[in-house]
Structures are given as structure tokens and as C-alpha cells.
Amino acid sequence: MTARAQRRQPISTGSEWTFELIQNYDREIGRLAERYALDTYPNQIEVITAEQMMDAYASVGMPLGYHHWSYGKQFLSTEKSYTRGQMGLAYEIVINSDPCIAYLMEENTMCMQALVIAHACYGHNSFFKGNYLFRTWTDASSIIDYLVFAKQYIAQCEERHGIDAVEDLIDSCHALMNYGVDRYKRPYPISAEEERRRQKDREEHLQRQINDLWRTIPKSAEKGSDRDDARFPAEPQENILYFIEKNAPLLEPWQREVVRIVRKIAQYFYPQRQTQVMNEGWATFWHYTLMNDLYDEGLITEGFMMEFLQSHTSVVFQPGFDSPYYSGINPYALGFAMYTDIRRICEHPTEEDRRWFPDIAGSDWLATLKFAMSSFKDESFILQYLSPKVMRDLKLFSILDDDQRDDLLVPAIHDEAGYRVIREQLAAQYNLGNREPNVQIWSVDRRGDRSLTLRHQQHNRKPLGDSTEEVLKHLHRLWGFDIHLETVQGDKVMKTHHMPPRGDHAEGADYGRMDLAVVHHL
């Protein structure tokens, strides 16, 4: 009885936070989360200032990163818009590591801190631990170690080879960063210590292999001729940076290692890019559920709840396509709507739900929700769970923009005939393979001019963007020899890019090749 009466006391009434209060809230939220059996890494909650938050922003969510001007650029623009009040800082940043690090900003009110704890420390955290992509592709326990290794290694390179040489190299790698991930092959994570130990062996070993590959002593013509005709690589390669790291003829061992570092970090972020809707939706769903539970137990006041609801609604606000604030579909809004709807389908299924989701209608909502969280990425999640009700609520419709026609077509809207179409199209929109041009390494002219040929498989006649030439310059810098990029439809070559441009070799020359750049800086 007395215990119950105490329970009814709100944890706090003012808007000021203290460390003690944060701990109290965290304990209560943690207790509630346990009720739902949310499986999380241990939490490390760090309170930081706004300046530190800007630092964290600038390093694109890595708690520590190597030095590069692009992060400085990021920082400057964040700083500018923040100091001018054009932009509020995110209330939190959470890092996929074990323990899971969440940053709380000093300026937040107690209500916001509680919201952030529920959102980041229990929502995102359990997503990181549960989702299959994160489980497969990232190793939360070793990422911090690896970043330390990367930072030190690149700092060493800068000392040895000069800041400019390293910066140029990283620029080139960043240009191809999205093409530095394995989409299907599973890497196995290793710790930083092991990484350091292996790195030395790797340098020597790799260089030996490269030398074999590019051996210039001519083999006897007849013996080798049939083997030399074989295309190299035998299969098209989607991981361009990996191919560069292993096969670029002119890179120094340290340069290969830097390529590897950028590639590894791209791989670490790859799951995040594929699970935006799911991840944010999941965290939002849980902060909403947990905060409501706190309120139901009388642990937070009504004023507190009002403040929370105001932040929550602005987070999940979805402006319409014709609103001046519209900038695409808000992943928080879509994700939150979908998880909430899955729960509804389980708890209060309608006739329509039973038709569309016979498997989950009326089932245990928590188990269903957890299964959805753990086994999908955005694309498949939408394909599997986007319900007619959510489409109706958001009033989704699609627009077909074909440059060969004068006007736009609306192929489908949120009605019985259009639900499946909309669902497929929205899912495709979240398929990274559709969003990025499909460019793969096709072949290398090993016995001739050592040129590298890439192929762009064109989808729906979508052309390459205007920075393609620049990217090819970067690729040329890494490869060291001519680059050709063929845009193909089926087997027909539609368009080709060349670097250096055909018939104009002078222009390519000013873009120093890596080997020349190195000589220059020695």
C-alpha cells in the first residue's frame, strides 16, 4: 500500500534536470522496458554541451574519426546554422557500440532527457542489438577500437607522407565510399588489436600478390595466350574500393590500408542506410509507449506529458507533398505509423486486416513486432507490413515521371486497386540498389594499357548525375591508369565516359596520379 502510494509520486516536477534525476528516469524506463523484454546493450549515457554536440554531428556519428577537411566543412555549416538559430540540434545522437553510447545535450529539459533516454537508450539500442543487418554486418563491441586504430594509422600516414597526399587519397576514397560495401558477403569482425597485428602482414602479403598480378616479364606467348584472354576479374565486382585495395597496380601499401579503412567504415554504416524507417520508427514507437507507461503509473506529471507530446508530434509530422516544408517522406512518421499499425492489427484486427495479414492479425503483438524489427530492412519491411490503413492515413500516391512524355502520370493512389502498387513502389524507393546507380567493375586490360572498365547497368533509362566525371577522376587517381565507364542497357552500350577524356590527354595530366603525387610530397 505504501509502496504503491510512493509509486504515484512523480519522479520530478520541474523542468531542470540533475544527474540524480536522469538516473531515476533511466531506472524507471529501464524497468518498463524490461516488461516488454527489450534486449539491449548496456547503456552509457553521456551528458555533453551544445558545442560538443556540434562536434559529434560533424564526425557523422562516429565518436572519434580521422581528420579530414570534409568533417570540418560539416562542422562549419552546423555551427553556422545553429548559431543563427536556423536549426536546432538533434536532441540525441546514439552510437551503435557495446556499450551503446547515447549523448544527451545539457540544454535539454528534464522531459527531453527522459524522451531521449527512452528513444535512444532503449529504442535504438534494442534495434542495434536485434536487427539482423546490424547483427550480421557490424560488430558493436569492436567498432570503437577500430576507429581508434584508423585514426592513429591515418595520423601516422600524415606524418610520414604529408597531409596533402593523405587528404587527396581520402578524397578519392570518399567519392567511392558508397561503392565500398559488400552487399552479400558477410565479413567477420575482428578486434582492433588483431587488426593492427594483421595490418603489417597484410601489407607485405598484398604487395607480393599485386606484383604477381602485374608481373611485367612476358610469359612465353603460346603457353599463356589462352589464359590471358580470360576476363579479369572473372565476375563483375560491385565493391569497387575492395577491388582497388587488392588490385590497383600503383598504390603503396599504406595507401591500400587507407582505402581499407574507408571501406570498413562505409561497411559499418551500411546497415544504418538501409534501416532508416525501421530504426527511427522503432525508437519512436518505444519512446511513445514507454512515456505513456510512465504517465499511466503516475511517474510523470501532466505538464511533462504535454511537453513530451508536443515534441513527439513534431517528430512524426508528415507534411503533404504540396507543403513548403515537404522534403520527402519522414522516416519517423512512416516507421512510427507502421509499427503502431502492426500492434493495432494484432490487438484489434478488422476484416480488412484479416484479409491482408492473415498471419499476424490477432497474434501476440510484442512477438510480432519484435520479429518485424529483427528480420527485415526498410525495403522488405515496407513490402511485408505496409497496411492499407497506413496508406490511407498518409494518403500515399505515386507519380510516374517519364522524360519521354510531356505530362506526369499518377499510376496509383490509396485505394483498393492501388494498395499493392503503392506498396511495391514505396518499397522499391527504399532499395539502395535502385537509389544508387548500379556501377560495377567489368574488366581490366591486364596485358595492354592496364585500363579499368566499369559498367553502369542502366535502370529505367536513368542517366548518371553530373558529378560522374569528378568521381572518375578520383577513381583514375586510385587506379593510376585509364578508366572507362560504359553505360549499358541489356548488352547494348549506350554511352561511355573516359578518364582521361578521349583525345584530350592534357586535361587528365593535371589530375595527379597517386604515384606522382607521392613522389611530389617526398
- Select 375 or 468, whichever has its Cβ closest to other proteins: 468
Cβ–Cβ under 8 Å, residues 305 and 291: yes
Pairing of strands 483-489, 452-457: parallel
Judged by CB, which is closer to other proteins: 30, or 362?
30
Which span sits near other proteins by CB under 8 A: 2-10, 38-46, 137-145, 358-366? 38-46
CB 134 to other proteins: min, Å: 20
Using the rule CB under 8 A, which residue among 326, 348, 502, 519 binds other proteins? 326
- Residue 75 in the binding site for other proteins (CB under 8 A): yes
Least distance in Å: CB of 197 to other proteins?
28
Which range binds other proteins by CB under 8 A, 47-55, 134-142, 274-282, 358-366?
47-55
| Residues near 453 by beta carbon (within 8 Å), at least 6 away in sequence | 441, 442, 443, 444, 445, 483, 484, 485, 486
State how far the alpha carbon of 472 is from the alpha carbons of 117, 170, 475, in Å.
44, 15, 5
In this structure, are residues 199 and 257 in contact, taking their beta carbons and an 8 Å threshold?
yes
For residue 271, the minimal CB distance to other proteins (Å) is 19
Nearer to other proteins, 47 or 190 (CB): 47
Give the largest Cα separation in the chain, rounded. 95
- Give the nearest distance from C-beta 520 to other proteins in angstroms: 17
| Shortest distance (Å) from residue 332 CB to other proteins | 13
Q: Which is nearer to other proteins, 38 or 210 (CB)?
A: 38
Q: Are 180 and 237 in contact (CB under 8 A)?
A: no
Give the footprint of other proteins on residues 457-516 (CB under 8 A): 458-468, 470-471, 474
Site for other proteins in 254-313 (CB under 8 A): none
**Contact flags string 226-265 toward other proteins, x per CB under 8 A:** ----------------------------------------
Amino acid at 12: S
Rank residues 214 and 326 by Cβ distance to other proteins and give the closer one.
326
Q: Which of 486, 475, 480, 483 is nearest to 439 (CA)?
A: 486
SS3 (DSSP) at 189: coil
Scanning 75-83, 181-189, 274-282, 503-511 for contacts with other proteins by CB under 8 A, the matching segment is 75-83
Which residues are bridge partners to 413 per DSSP?
397
- Which residue, among 475, 480, 445, 458, has the nearest Cα to 233 in the 3D structure? 445
The CB density around residue 173, as the number of other CB atoms within 10 Å, is 26
Residue numbers 94-153 binding other proteins by CB under 8 A: 99, 103, 106, 121
One residue of 44, 199, 276, 363 binding other proteins per CB under 8 A: 44
Choose the stretch contacting other proteins; rule: CB under 8 A; options: 138-146, 371-379, 456-464, 503-511: 456-464
Which 385-444 positions form the footprint of other proteins (CB under 8 A)? 394-403, 406-415, 417-418, 422, 425-426, 428-429, 435-437, 439
Write out the binding residues for other proteins, residues 3-22 only, by CB under 8 A: 19, 22
Nearer to other proteins, 34 or 364 (CB): 34
Binders in 153-192 for other proteins, by CB under 8 A:
163, 167, 171, 174-179
**According to CB under 8 A, which one of 47, 89, 309, 366 is a site residue for other proteins?**
47
- The nearer residue to other proteins, 125 or 368, going by C-beta atoms, is 125
How far is 141 from 131, CA to CA, in rounded Å?
16
For 30, residues 6+ apart whose C-beta sits below 8 A from its C-beta are 122
Query: 3-state SS of 98-163?
Result: CCEEEEEECCCCHHHHHHHHHHHHHHHHHHHHHCHHHHHHCCCCCHHHHHHHHHHHHHHHHHHHCH
Residues 6 or more apart whose Cβ sits within 8 Å of residue 332: 280, 281, 284, 315, 316
CA 17 to centroid of chain Cα atoms: 32
Closer to other proteins by CB, 349 or 500: give it. 500
The site for other proteins, by CB under 8 A, has a size of: 103
